Amino acid sequence: MKFARSVWKILVAIKDGLVLLLLLLFFGGLYALLTLRPAPGMVHPGALYLALEGPVVEERARLRPAQLLSGGGRMKAVQERDLVRGLEAAATDDRIKAVVLDLDEFGGGSQVAMTRIGAAMDTVRRAKKPVLVRARLYTDDSVQLAAHASEAWVDPLGGALVAGPGGTNLYFKALLDRLKIKAHVFKVGTYKSAVEPFIRENASPEAKEALGAVYAALWDAWQADVKKARPKADLALVTGDPVKWIAASGGDAAKAAVAAGLVDRVGDKVAFGKRVAEIVGADPSGGEGAFKGTELTPYLADRTPASDGKAIAVVTVAGDIVDGDAGPGTAGGDRIADLVDKAAASGDYAALVVRVDSPGGSVTAAERIRAAIARMKAKKIPVAVSMAGLAASGGYWVATPADRVFAEPATITGSIGIFAIIPSFEEALDRIGVGTDGVRTTPLSGQPDVFGGFSPTAEAVIQQEIDSGYARFVGLVAEARHKSPADIDKIAQGRIWDGGTARQLGLVDEFGGIDAALAWAAKAAGAKTWHPVYLGADADTFGTLLEGLADSESGGGDSHAFGAQLLDPAAPAGDFAALAAQQQGALAQQLASDLARLLGGAGAQVYCLECAGLTPASAPQPRAAAGTWLALLARLAG
């Protein structure tokens, strides 16, 4: 009996200890949540400090618990509308004396995004507040932002490089031939170059023609924006003979950037911080070069968005359009359609604005989103589409129900075409001594057979489905644009267009950003006062905690230790080598995406592959099936 009591006491002690541990974990988590989440009242008079870590994106991806547990984390990114809202608010906020942009870890963004951010920087400057920008190495996107600054600084070991649009795609036909893998391609569209990497060893003349025209339009628009904001910039010198340009400054790239008028001053982080401190005041609690100020996240938490008047729903279609509930940051067809349907059923919204920044993707997912938008429109709710940097292929498919389509001159759109790619491995298997055989009851039994090969009947049926999908795509566009299918077919064929040409062709109604689209939607709804509501933008508490923890682990978060940030050692004089590594990383990502598209069994696609080089990097999301095919490919290659 005495032994039993002793055991009982031990069990009770263990239970009490576990309860205490759980309570400690609970309150520890609660404390972390309260400290990680910004709250009103955390704004300090001084500078609005904007550290642009990662690319500027239309919609920031959320961290999933599994990513944190696996140590994967997420790619840092800055949401464009948050950055613009912060800049525009700073222009009228007496607490903000200056705006500081730190571009050391900037990952670029679409040209449309850079133009919109530059316009917001101009708003701050018109309010007689300085905008200071600093980076180690300026490239096209950061040069465009620096042009809108009142002071642009470059590190003594840095410089500037203007490359213009253009680059390299990967082509796999010779590799597939060597591995005896057949890429069965089904497409409609002379210019549908999304399939060319698998059937050609280089780009077709048609693809080069279409892409060259778009690049020329983007390049002209970029130069016009930079020259207007910074007339003294000598772009002809910088782009005409870069070697001669840098050599004229004794090989010093930083001094060459100043000589060409791309930036104003050379200085390290400490010197830059002291200059900011002259304007907004030094932070005595920081180190050398620390200045007073507030970061973007707590600043936006302090600036509650207006909620007067009628609500205008905004749904964002950003990233690849895929089947299922993926996103934010990826356009999951089911998720976005559900958001639109719930908004329509609620009766809370006077109008809908669809913000599109996508190269397209799954036909079924794009159709799911389009149908939901059409259902909302059928309820006599005005619908506007606002195209960001990219609204091509499936990104245009979802835009077809709109009453009004807005785009920017640098928007990439069109690519009205459809394709499917399915590999087969009969020759590869025969090469390693594996044969196939069986019994069929119909011409389609076991088809499409990726191991034994496609029958002529299967190939004909699939091509008929692709032809039908293209006819539906053209028909949707023709109905939306009040043209005949024949007229649309002439400008379709998978060809991409810049926003200006798309407007001339009737694919776009009006130039303007999301503000113009919102204003039109409000007017169409008869709303004198209104406010936008971004559907699906509310982060859950647990997700916010996870993201805060992830940012803290990676050195991010809401730290106000500007001095510590400014005292970080400058990068070695290998920034141009780092740029080369970044380009290699982009090609590696393209390789992963292309192989996933070939081997992932994604079905019919409305996707703009040629647009991939014109958007910020994002993590590819191959389907689960792709892993099996990639493993087989690796085995065959070995």
Domain shared by 287 and 349, yes or no:
no
Residues 239, 375, single domain; the answer is no
Please state, for a pLDDT cut of 90, what percent of the chain lies above it: 61
Q: How far is CA 443 from CA 1, 239, 424, 467, in A?
A: 79, 59, 17, 21
Backbone φ and ψ for 408, nearest 5 degrees, come out as -105, 160
Judge whether 23 lies within some domain: no
In this prediction, residues 448-460 reach a mean pLDDT of 90
Neighbours of 333 (CB within 10 A): 29
**Closest CA relative to residue 413, chosen from 497, 330, 484:** 497
Domain that holds residue 403: 310-528
Residue range 41-73, pLDDT digits in tens:
578 899 999 999 999 999 998 765 554 444 555
Three-state secondary-structure class, residue 618? coil
Within-domain flag for 17: no
The C-alpha atoms of residue 481 and residue 378 are separated, in whole angstroms, by 17
Q: Looking at the structure, tell me whether residues 145 and 284 fall in a common domain.
A: yes
pLDDT on residue 562: 43
The yes-or-no answer on residue 393 being catalytic is yes
Query: Same domain for 351 and 457?
Result: yes
Q: Do 298 and 315 fall within a single domain?
A: no
- Which of 73-77, 108-112, 466-470 comes out lowest in average pLDDT? 73-77
- If asked whether residues 426 and 511 sit together in one domain, one would say yes
Strand 418-424 relative to strand 182-188: parallel, antiparallel, unpaired?
A: antiparallel
Instruction: Please say whether the beta carbons of 416 and 473 come within 8 A.
Output: yes
pLDDT tens-place string over residues 324-368: 999 899 999 999 999 999 999 999 999 999 999 999 999 999 999
Residue 29 belongs to a domain? no
| CATH number for position 332 | 3.90.226.10
**Range of weakest confidence among 82-91, 378-387, 471-480, 620-629:** 620-629
Residues in Cβ contact with 126 at an 8 Å cutoff, skipping those fewer than 6 apart? 91
Q: How far is the C-alpha of 171 from the C-alpha of 85, rounded, in Å? A: 41
H or E element, residue 83: helix 80-91
Same domain, 419 and 496: yes
pLDDT at 3: 60
Of these residues, 97, 129, 187, 192, which one is catalytic? 192
Starting at the edge strand found earlier in the chain, the sheet holding 360-362 runs 182-188, 418-424, 605-607, 360-362, 321-322, 331-332
Could you tell me if 260 and 371 lie in one domain?
A: no
Do residues 427 and 567 both lie within one domain? no
Predicted confidence band at 556 (pLDDT cuts at 50, 70, 90)?
A: very low
| 192 catalytically annotated | yes
- The secondary structure element, H or E, covering residue 383 is strand 383-392
Which of 142, 362, 393, 424 is an active site residue? 393
Q: Is residue 633 pLDDT above 50, yes or no?
A: no
Question: Tokens 């988590």 appear where?
Answer: 29
pTM: 0.83
Domain count, the chain: 2
pLDDT at 601 over 70: no
- Residue 638's pLDDT is 41
Per the model's pLDDT, the better-predicted residue between 547 and 280 turns out to be 280
**Whether the predicted pLDDT of 619 surpasses 90:** no
Check whether residue 459 and residue 400 sit in a common domain: yes
Phi, psi of 442, deg, nearest 5: -140, 165
Q: Are strands 496-498 and 412-414 parallel, antiparallel or unpaired?
A: antiparallel
Indicate whether 486 and 565 sit together in one domain: no
Whether 370 contacts 481, CB under 8 Å: no
Lowest mean pLDDT among 75-89, 440-454, 529-543: 529-543
Mean pLDDT of 500-529: 97
The reply to whether 347 falls in a domain is yes
